[in-house]
Amino acid sequence: MKTQVAIIGAGPSGLLLGQLLHLQGIDTVILEAKTPDYVLHRIRAGVLEQGMVDLLREAKVGARMDREGHVHDGFTLAFNGRRERIDLKSLTNGKTVTVYGQTEVTRDLMQARSEARALSIYETTDVQLHDFYRDQPRVTFVKDGETVELECDYIAGCDGFHGVSRQSVPADALKTFERDYPFGWIGVLSETPPVAPELIYANHPRGFALCSMRSDVLSRYYVQCSLEDKVEQWSDERFWTELKSRIPEDVAAKLITGPSIEKSIAPLRSFVTEPMKFGRLFLVGDAAHIVPPTGAKGLNLAASDVYTLYHSLRKTYHEGRNDLLEKYSQICLRRIWKAERFSWWMTSLLHKFSDDPFNQRIQSAELEYYTGSLAGRTTIAENYVGLPYEPIE
């Protein structure tokens, strides 16, 4: 079997890269370990930066997002018993974010791939990457009990944090940078109307809370929890009571609760791999980096990696440019580190780290300072809507 670009992983990174390359007549094969159903039922992020919205439109998968997604002009920070709205639109010359679930993005991309009759092979096992430091890389995998070999020009490792791509690189060829946080988030999805039209991020003495949404009838809420906590210890009732105690009273009074249709606990982590290119292997999205979810940057960073790899490959194939792929790591990492910084900072600003009253006063002063200054609100807004993509020229 032969293709131009072998893509490992059918999450948003792999599917979006595949779709953009397909529109340029560049052949791809996607290998995915799970079933399509499994991939579609992972509940993940839901806030898209303008750059990602534009890229989805360029990939011709933006129609449903444009119909059903909700454009948000701002969000609210709640702390010390008060609320400050960050007016994204006015602070960034008209930029906004769009609330549209990763699940929906994935569904639209899967549909486009099947309409394009491009090959995705699900439920593959024992995926192995070979010869990516040579001119003719190969990927082998097992499907229905048979070993298959896929020859290619390039391999895109879009297989997430636990994938095989990063693990295939010799240990001395990469460096990783990591920070774990001493808490997690428990998230609940419920078929209830959102408590407010925009997102509310709350800093509270009991810990962080977030009110988010997927649509007019589907809400997503989170509260900071202990890393030792198990989902079974969090009945719906305990979750709603805790959420209400951490958000402003008048908001809590309006909260409509209902049975959770999904509930999960996630640890918070910052992680970056350098470089992201190893010969003809390119790491994309969660395979190369993780951010804590405060600030909603994970999916958006995957999209900016895809943008960079897609344009570099397009110009390599169609214009004979052989310099661009060499710059993939540097271009991606410049933007990634800035998003890592913002996600780390939002996490530090909004969570309860300890009972130390000095830390709490500093956090409080930081919130007062940033929200009370035009420069402070602007820096929050321009990072939240997403820093610009570097043109690939």
Residues belonging to the active site: 72, 201, 293, 297, 384
In the list 50, 102, 257, 294, the residue contacting ligand APR (rule: CB under 6 A) is 102
Using rule CB under 6 A, residue 45 touches ligand APR? yes
Q: Which residue has the tokens 């030792």?
A: 228
Q: How far apart are CA 187 and CA 5, in angstroms?
A: 36
Shortest distance (Å) from residue 25 CB to ligand PHB = 36
| Residue from the set 6, 7, 11, 220 that interacts with ligand APR by CB under 6 A | 11
* Interactions with ligand APR, residue window 108-127 (CB under 6 A): 124, 127
The least CB distance from residue 268 to ligand PHB, in Å, is: 11
Nearer to ligand APR, 3 or 124 (CB): 124
Q: Which of 36, 44, 83, 193 binds ligand APR (CB under 6 A)?
A: 44
Contacts of 29 (CB under 8 A, 6+ apart): 1, 3, 6, 7, 119, 120, 121, 150, 152
Q: Is 268 in the site for ligand APR (CB under 6 A)?
A: no
Closest CA to 152 of 264, 270, 242, 30: 30
Q: Is 12 a binder of ligand APR (CB under 6 A)?
A: yes
Is 319 exposed, middle or buried (CB count within 10 Å of its CB: 0-12, 13-18, 19+)? exposed
Of 153-161, 178-186, 250-258, 268-276, which part binds ligand APR (CB under 6 A)? 153-161
| CA dist., res. 245 & res. 291, Å (int) | 27
70, exposed or middle or buried, with CB in 10 Å at 0-12, 13-18, 19+? middle
Which residue, 34 or 130, has its beta carbon nearer to ligand APR? 34
H or E element: which one contains 235? none
Distance (Å, whole) CA 79 – CA 372: 13
Q: Where are the alpha helices (DSSP H) in the chain?
A: 12-23, 36-40, 50-58, 63-68, 88-91, 102-115, 164-167, 236-246, 249-254, 298-319, 328-350, 357-372, 374-384
CB of 210 vs ligand APR, minimal distance in Å: 15
Does residue number 61 form part of the binding site for ligand APR (CB under 6 A)? no
- Beta carbons of 121 and 39 less than 8 angstroms apart: no
**Contact pick of 7, 21, 32, 386 for ligand APR (by CB under 6 A):** 32
11 makes contact, choosing from ligand APR, ligand PHB, none, with CB < 5 to 8 Å by partner type, with: ligand APR
Q: Determine the 3-state secondary structure of 133 from DSSP.
A: coil
User: Residue 18: which of ligand PHB, ligand APR, none does it interact with, CB under 5 to 8 A by kind?
Assistant: none
| Structural tokens at position 284 | 């994309």
- Amino acid at position 212, single letter: S
DSSP state of 31: E
Among 152, 302, 313, 381, binds ligand APR (CB under 6 A): 302
Restricting to residues 154-173, which ones interact with ligand APR according to CB under 6 A?
158-160, 163-164
In the bound state with ligand APR, the residue whose beta carbon lies nearer, of 124 and 304, is 124
Task: Please tell me whether residue 299 binds ligand APR under the rule CB under 6 A.
Answer: yes
Please work out the total of residues on this chain that contact ligand APR, with binding judged by CB under 6 A: 27
Residue in 56, 122, 124 with CA at minimum distance from that of residue 306: 56
Where on the chain is the footprint of ligand APR (CB under 6 A)? Answer: 8-14, 31-34, 39, 44-45, 102, 124, 127, 158-160, 163-164, 285-286, 298-299, 302
